[in-house]
Amino acid sequence: MSRCATVSRSLDEPVSGTAATATTWLLLEQPGPWGVKALTSSHLDHALGRALETAAERTGVRIALIRRPGRHADPGRPAVRQVYAAHTVPGRGWLHSATTRDPGRLLGLDFAALGAGDHRSFGTALGGRPYRGDPLALVCTNGKRDRCCALLGRPLATELAASGVRGVWEVTHLGGHRFAPTVLVLPYGYSYGRAEAHTVKEALHGVQEGRVVVEGCRGCSAWERPGQAAELAVRSAAGEYRAGVLSVVRTEGAAPRWEVTVGHADGRRWRVTVAQGASLPPRPESCGAAVLGTPARMDVVAVRELRPTALAS
């Protein structure tokens, strides 16, 4: 039986505008096996997992579990766990880190404030500080969620770690199994699909140089999917690859058509028309899907730079 990622690649399904949405990512180290819904089907305390899910609802915070690449025989409860929080809105982003012996302390976080970009509770509850290390590459490897993530993601994570790339973690879920292997790069919050080691290394090198790599990019998690596609289209059209200088200023309309205004830090504006299409022919949206689907795709119809006189329109 064909894997969903194999079919998606063979049909050349576009990856732009498919990233998981989150203004802030909260990542908790949890070694050992993960189930389909990892917060409540791993060796993390089940009640704590449910409480964290509830606390994060509708706040813009997305919680995921992470572990180091390698064998996943359960080592028992780790004495000290790594925790990261990353806000991904361009121009206002940050990445902080902490360690804790008690993951229950995460319930002391102000999730609404974290989602809005306020990191103070991360410092208060966990002793978190700004992260000064190498950028992070989070590779989705949760085979219980979709086998493509394990079959394609785990070898990528292992290869990156073995080649000396620092900051590599396995992560529970980034969405879009059919684009496996999928990778989230922090602190910028851009996701990549059908990722290969050279692409991830280039994206991480780009972070160190203050630029965004658009090859294989699914979008920035800070924006909804029309905005993700629009921002990437403006980058390509304008040849603008510096990080933190483009923002989705406004999104008008509703499915299947949006007008997205993308703004530059220097005052320039673009209006991008994005249309929602259906990916044809029907294909498996995940390896476990019982029926074939026609997943939505974000097609950029037009990119138009606005003249100063048109900015008020």
Tokens of 305: 């730079």
Neighbours of 215 (CB within 10 A): 11
In angstroms, how far is the first alpha carbon of the chain from the final one? 52
Neighbours of 42 (CB within 10 A): 22
pLDDT at 147: 78
Shortest CA distance to 13 belongs to which of 304, 302, 297? 297
Per-residue pLDDT of the chain (313 residues; tens, 9 = 90+): 458 887 778 877 889 999 999 999 999 999 988 988 989 999 999 999 999 999 999 999 999 999 999 776 566 666 899 999 999 999 999 999 999 999 999 999 999 999 999 999 999 999 999 999 999 999 999 877 677 888 888 999 999 999 999 999 999 989 887 888 999 999 999 999 999 999 999 999 999 999 999 999 999 999 999 999 999 999 999 999 999 999 999 999 999 999 999 999 999 999 999 999 998 888 877 777 778 888 899 999 999 999 876 555 5
The C-alpha atoms of residue 68 and residue 162 are separated, in whole angstroms, by: 12
Classify residue 267 as left (phi > 0), alpha (psi -120 to 50) or beta.
Answer: left
pLDDT at 12: 77
The C-alpha atoms of residue 48 and residue 101 are separated, in whole angstroms, by: 14
Shortest CA distance to 137 belongs to which of 88, 97, 189, 92? 189
Q: Is the peptide bond before 187 cis (omega within 30 degrees of 0)?
A: yes
pLDDT at 122: 98
pLDDT at 1: 44
pLDDT at 14: 87
pLDDT at 73: 53
Number of H helices, E strands in the chain: 8, 14
Q: Which 3 state secondary structure label does DSSP give 181? A: coil
Helix (H) or strand (E) holding 184: strand 183-186
Q: Are 181 and 194 in contact (CB under 8 A)?
A: yes
pLDDT at 57: 97
Tokens of 272: 């991008």
In sign, the C-alpha dihedral spanning 17, 224, 227, 64 is: negative
DSSP-derived pairing of the beta strands 81-87 and 61-67: unpaired
